[in-house]
Amino acid sequence: MASVKENLSRSTELTASDSARLDTEILLGHILGRPRTWLYTWPEYELTETEQRQLDALLQRRINGEPVAHLTGEREFWSLSLKVNASTLIPRPETELLVETALALCPQEKLRALDLGTGSGAIALALASEKPGWQIVAAEKSADAATLAGENRRALGFENVQIVQSDWFTEIAPQKFDLIVSNPPYIDAADPHLGEGDVRFEPRSALVAQGEGLADIELIAREGIAYLEAGGWLLVEHGWQQAGAVREIFAAAGFNSIESRRDYTGWERITLG
C-alpha cells in the first residue's frame, strides 16, 4: 500500500507532460473525492486497493497522452466546473480573455448574445454566470457536443442560455444580437501542433479550418454582420499569428472599430469589430 505522498512522487513517470505534478494531484484528488489541497494536509493517507488500482489506470492513460480533463470528465472554466468529453474542445484558460473582453465591451445588464460553436458551452455559460439578465443563444453543430452543453447548462441552472443545434447560422432565424462571440476552429490542417498533446484527443472539427485556418472566421464575419444590431460587437478568438488576417476579414465583411487584444503572453489572440 502506498500513501498520498508516495503516489504524488510518481508524477515523475509522466515524462511527456509539462504539468506532471499538477496532473498527478488532479487525478489523485479526483479518485479520492478530495480537493487538491487536501493531499497536502493528509500526505500519509494510505490508498485502498481500489483507489490504488484506479489511480494506476488513470496514470497509465495519462502516460499514453490522454488529456487530464478526459480522465476526470471535467474542467474548470471561469470558475465553473464543466463536464467535458471527447465530443468537444477542452475549454482553455486563454479563452477566458474572450469572456473578459465581451463583459468589458458590454456592461449593460440586458442584452441578446449569440455564441457560435459553443462546444461544452464554456463561453455562453461563463457569460450567463456574470449576466443573469442576458439572453444567450449558444449554437453548436455537433449533436453530441450540443447534448453536453445542455447538460452543463442544466447542472448550472442558467435558464437564460438556449442551446440550438446549428451549423454556424443555418438554424438561427434572422434576428439581431447585440453581441456575437466565437472560439471557432482556426488551426491550419498542416500545423504540426495537431500531432502533439491534448489536441490529438479533441475533435478535428473543433480545431481545424480550411483556408489556412481562417475559413470559419471568414464565414462568421461575412454572415454575422446581418445578425448584429447597429453598434453591436463581434468577438472571435484566433491563432497567435492570425490577427492581421482576421482584421482584414472583418474589414472586408463591413465591420468598423476593428481591434485585436493581446493575451497575457503578449500575443494578439482576440479580434473585435
Helix (H) or strand (E) holding 150, with range, is helix 143-156
Q: Does 98 bind ligand GLN (CB under 6 A)?
A: no
Distance from CA of residue 189 to its chain's centroid? 20
**Residue 203 Cβ, how far from ligand GLN at the closest point, in Å?**
10
Q: Residues annotated as binding site?
A: 117-121, 140, 168, 183-186
**Residue 149 Cβ, how far from ligand GLN at the closest point, in Å?**
15
> Which residue is it, cell 493581446?
262
Q: Does 119 bind ligand GLN (CB under 6 A)?
A: no
d(CA 52, CA 223) in angstroms, rounded, equals 53
d(CA 214, CA 160) in angstroms, rounded, equals 31
Q: Residues annotated as binding site for S-adenosyl-L-methionine?
A: 117-121, 140, 168, 183
Of 102, 124, 139, 187, which one interacts with ligand GLN (CB under 6 A)?
187
Distance from CA of residue 234 to its chain's centroid? 18
**Residue 187 Cβ, how far from ligand GLN at the closest point, in Å?**
5
Under 8 Å between Cβ of 26 and 68: yes
- Which CB sits closer to ligand GLN, 134 or 186? 186
CA-wise closest residue to 217 among 260, 173, 187, 261: 187
Pick the piece of the chain touching ligand GLN (CB under 6 A) from 23-31, 108-116, 182-190, 251-259.
Answer: 182-190
CA-wise closest residue to 250 among 269, 232, 272, 267: 272
- Which CB sits closer to ligand GLN, 92 or 112? 92
- 3-state DSSP assignment of residue 2: coil
Pick the piece of the chain touching ligand GLN (CB under 6 A) from 60-68, 180-188, 226-234, 257-265.
Answer: 180-188
CA-wise closest residue to 58 among 91, 13, 1: 13
- Which CB sits closer to ligand GLN, 89 or 221? 89
Q: Residues annotated as binding site for substrate?
A: 183-186
- 3-state DSSP assignment of residue 93: helix
- Which CB sits closer to ligand GLN, 4 or 235? 235
**Residue 86 Cβ, how far from ligand GLN at the closest point, in Å?**
15
Q: Does 183 bind ligand GLN (CB under 6 A)?
A: yes
**Residue 148 Cβ, how far from ligand GLN at the closest point, in Å?**
16
End-to-end CA distance of the chain: 59
Q: Does 186 bind ligand GLN (CB under 6 A)?
A: yes
- Which CB sits closer to ligand GLN, 186 or 250? 186
- Give 46's DSSP letter: B
Binding stretches for ligand GLN (CB under 6 A): 89, 92, 183, 185-187, 199, 207
